[in-house]
Amino acid sequence: MISQQLLWPYLVASMVCIASPGPDSLTVLSIGLARGRREAMQFALGVGTGCLTHTLWAALGIAALVAASEHLFTALKLIGAAYLLWLGIGALRSRGALAGGTNAIPGPQQAGPPRTGRQRFLNGFINNSLNPKVMLFFIAFLPQFVDPAHGSVPVQMLLLGSGFALMTASSYVLLGAASGRVGELLMRRPSLALTLDRIVGVLFIALAARLVLTQRA
């Protein structure tokens, strides 16, 4: 159903976009250094799955509605920024729990018992899903590689977007594994683990501020 002439350019363009440094890749890298490869890889899988929501919205035309409405765009942007701010504050309040053997996620209750991988996955999923710039990227990117002569446009967009999500998850999982390995070596020093938590907190807050300042154009 997908045009073979457009498939290879799509794959190349997708990998270039994924390889470009951005908020999601920086967050995966930071979590790997501060929290270890397991949490970074789980977050990466959440980010990749979050791409599927943008694919669905683009295929259904919802992304176009958000792009056309300043109010909807602003609402989504503020929700995403508030979530990032919450994560950042939680990381800044961390007591360096991971250095003591727990696998907490950023959040106000971080000093509690170890959290599950599902929670870290949800961090990545929500972080990506609530980013309106990613939504606008999908609505601008996917149609360039759709050929109406090869069948249903929404179905082609779903297939292309699913491929992008899979490539994103795979690439970020490798990034998380690599940075996490370095982080696990560094975290044998508890004071350094605490410092890395602070860096992650500042990064989340900076990303929240960047998202608030984001414009539709």
Is pTM, for the whole model, over 0.75? no
Q: Work out the number of other CB atoms within 10 angstroms of the CB of residue 216.
A: 14
Q: What is the pLDDT of residue 185?
A: 67
Q: What is the pLDDT of residue 215?
A: 67
Q: What is the pLDDT of residue 168?
A: 94
**Whole-angstrom Cα distance, residue 105 to residue 118?**
11
Give the chain's length. Answer: 217
Tokens representing 48? 């990749």
The yes-or-no verdict on residue 51 having pLDDT over 80 is yes
The yes-or-no verdict on residue 2 having pLDDT over 80 is no
The tally of CA atoms less than 13 A away on the side-chain side of residue 62 is 10
**Whole-angstrom Cα distance, residue 150 to residue 154?**
11
Q: What is the pLDDT of residue 63?
A: 59
**Whole-angstrom Cα distance, residue 91 to residue 56?**
32
Average pLDDT along the chain: 77
Q: What is the pLDDT of residue 48?
A: 94
**Signed CA dihedral, 68, 151, 52, 11: sign only:** negative
